[in-house]
Structure 1
Amino acid sequence: MAYLEGKNLVASYGVVPILHECSVEVEKGELAVIVGPNGAGKSTVMRVLLGMLDATSGSVTLDDKDISMLSTQDRIGMGLAFVPQTKNVFPSMTVEENLEMGGFIRKDDISKTIQEVYELFPILYDKRKQLAVQLSGGQRQQVAFGRAMMTKPSVMLLDEPTAGVSPIVMDEIFSNILDVRNAGMAVLMVEQNAQQALNIADKGFVLVSGRNEHTGTGKELINDREVRKKFLGG
């Protein structure tokens, strides 16, 4: 069993079915990506894993524990962290204040974790007194990652982290994501830029209409003729 696993997930919004026995998983120290066309159910998978949407069947397990019935807050307390696509920083707060807000649920000293974030993303230390609104897109995403890390999670869930950014910033963000993975965390990412995401992924899941159309390593999926034709433009 994988460290975080959503198995045979079925979910709907009202009477509209979205997920049809969809399965995703990620191990510690691994980057897994979920790709597919618009409306495939990618973000819905994230919502189910986080407990923001109840699955009608299937299960979610974390470190061999079934968390399917737990609240979002309890899942975060057990080690899940989430970086949404938008509104993922407090623009009127400084970098350091954003990190401090990320640790608000902790009762212990968070200063060591803040230092660990600065070690992972040195530019944030240099800009720690700057307002987040004054940062570049890539730097704001680093703040969002760092804030999520303040709860000392074992899994980071990312919803389209490169949406709306330039190719240069996209490369920077992907590099940051690899840094997070290399720090030993499990990273599961929904991403529209399928080619680039699969290039850096340890494993990938291609969803179509809420179903697993293809599953494999990033390299296997990029080299799969059908995946390339349908989803990667050749």
Structure 2
Amino acid sequence: MSYLSASNMTGGYGRGADILHDCTIEAAEGEIAVIVGPNGAGKSTAMKAVFGMLNLRQGSVTLDGEDITHLTPQDRVAKGMAFVPQTSNVFPSMSVEENLEMGAFLRRDNITGTMEQIYDLFPILKEKRRQNAGELSGGQRQQVAVGRALMTQPKLLMLDEPTAGVSPIVMDELFDRIIEVARTGISILMVEQNARQALNIADKGYVLVQGRNRFTDTGEALMNDPEVRKSFLGG
């Protein structure tokens, strides 16, 4: 039973043309599901459709068995979704700690324990907690963005291009932290340009082409598929 099931999604932005065509994305509890594909394949659009940021003309989204197709993004956050966009994902003029506190805006309980867990996961954030997020490196800002999303105590964490613009060393470190998050039982749905590295850590992989599912399999199987390797992984 998938924790997230986004089935047969067809839709686009506003009254524009459909970008997604019968697209299906699923993730089980504690599973890392990765969406890869060429530029313009509809990867980020599929993620936004799951989060309720565009209208679906067909299809449905269920979370833990509950149909949430018509819920707003805010209501989906309350149901356990957290979304980290690729850009503009921190408040640059606020400190690291204030950014994390902003992630807990819906909570009415004590957030200290969650904050400590995030500092354990990303020790550099504890060290720089009084520093403005805008002064951090790209990789550190991504850690703030992921940390802020985790402050909502999500069951499903969605990451749009989390390693965009960071060095290979920082990318490996971020992927290690993502694996750690998944081991706590949180489902991860991730769009990633670095397809080979992302499929390497994926339990499940989706290759999208022009808004449609082209290949769906385990990360390992897709890495070993000759056609996927030739067309999408550079041979």
TM-score, length of structure 1 as denominator length: 0.96
Which stretch has the larger CA shift, 175-184 or 142-151?
A: 175-184
Q: Which runs of 5+ in 1 are unaligned?
A: none
Q: Which residue of 2 aligns with 1:88?
A: 89
Q: What corresponds to 1:213 in structure 2?
A: 214
CA contact (8 A) 1:156 1:187 kept: yes
How many Å apart are 1:183 and its aligned residue? 2.2
Q: 1:178: which partner in 2? A: 179
2:208 and 2:126 map into 1 onto residues whose CA distance is 38
Matching residue of 1:40? 41
Contact 1:200 1:218 in 2 (8 A): yes
CA distance in 2 between partners of 1:228 and 1:88 (Å): 32
Instruction: Return the offset for 1:92.
Output: 1.6
Shift of 1:131: 1.7
Offset at residue 137 of structure 1 (A): 2.0
Offset from partner CA, 1:56-105 (integer Å, 9 cap, x none): 11110000000001111111100000001011111221111111111112
**Bigger mean CA deviation after superposition, 88-97 or 210-219:** 88-97
| Structure 2 residue matching 1:56: 3-state secondary structure | strand
List alignment gaps of at least 5 residues for structure 2: none
Whole-Å Cα distance in 1 between the matches of residues 96 and 138 of structure 2? 13
Shift of 1:172: 1.9
After superposition, give the CA deviation of every residue in 1:6-58 in whole Å (9 maximum; x if it has no partner): 00111123241211110011112111100001111111111111111111111
Distance 1:119 1:168 in 2: 19
Does the CA-based 8 Å contact 1:137-1:169 persist in structure 2? no
Farther off after superposition, 105-114 or 17-26? 105-114
Q: Give the TM-score normalised by the residue count of structure 2.
A: 0.96
Paired residues in the alignment total: 234
Post-superposition shift, 1:189?
0.2
* Alpha-carbon offset, residue 193 of structure 1: 0.9
For 2:160, the aligned partner's letter is D
| Runs of 4+, deviation exceeding 4 Å | none
- In structure 2, what is the equivalent of residue 129 of structure 1? 130
The one-character-per-residue Cα deviations of 1:89-143 (angstroms, maximum 9, x if unpaired) are: 1122111111111111212221221112112222222221122123222221111
Q: Which amino acid aligns with 1:221?
A: L
Cross-structure match for 1:7? 7
1-structure distance, mates of 2:60, 2:225? 29
Q: Alpha carbon RMSD of aligned pairs, Å? A: 1.1
Residues 174-183 or 145-154, more deviating: 174-183
- Whichever residue aligns with residue 159 of structure 1, its letter is D
Establish whether residue 164 from structure 1 lines up as the match of residue 191 from structure 2. Answer: no
* The 10-residue stretch of structure 1 (66-75 or 124-133) with the greater mean CA deviation from structure 2: 124-133
Structure 1 range deviating more: 129-138 or 153-162: 129-138
Q: Does 1:203 align with 2:191?
A: no
Cα distance in structure 2, aligned partners of 1:12 and 1:72: 16
Q: Which amino acid is 1:2 matched to?
A: S
CA distance in 2 between partners of 1:148 and 1:167 (Å): 23
Work out whether 1:51 is the aligned partner of 2:29.
no
Q: Which structure 2 residues correspond to residues 11-22 of structure 1 after superposition, within 5 A? A: 11-13=11-13, 14-22=15-23
Looking at structure 2, the residues matched to 141 and 44 of structure 1 have their Cα atoms a distance apart, in angstroms, of 20
* Structure 1 contact 138–172 (Cα < 8 Å) conserved: no
* Displacement after TM superposition at 1:177 (Å): 1.4
1:229 corresponds to which letter in structure 2? K
CA contact (8 A) 2:90 2:141 kept: yes
Secondary structure of residue in 2 paired with 1:17 = coil
SS class of match (1:34): strand
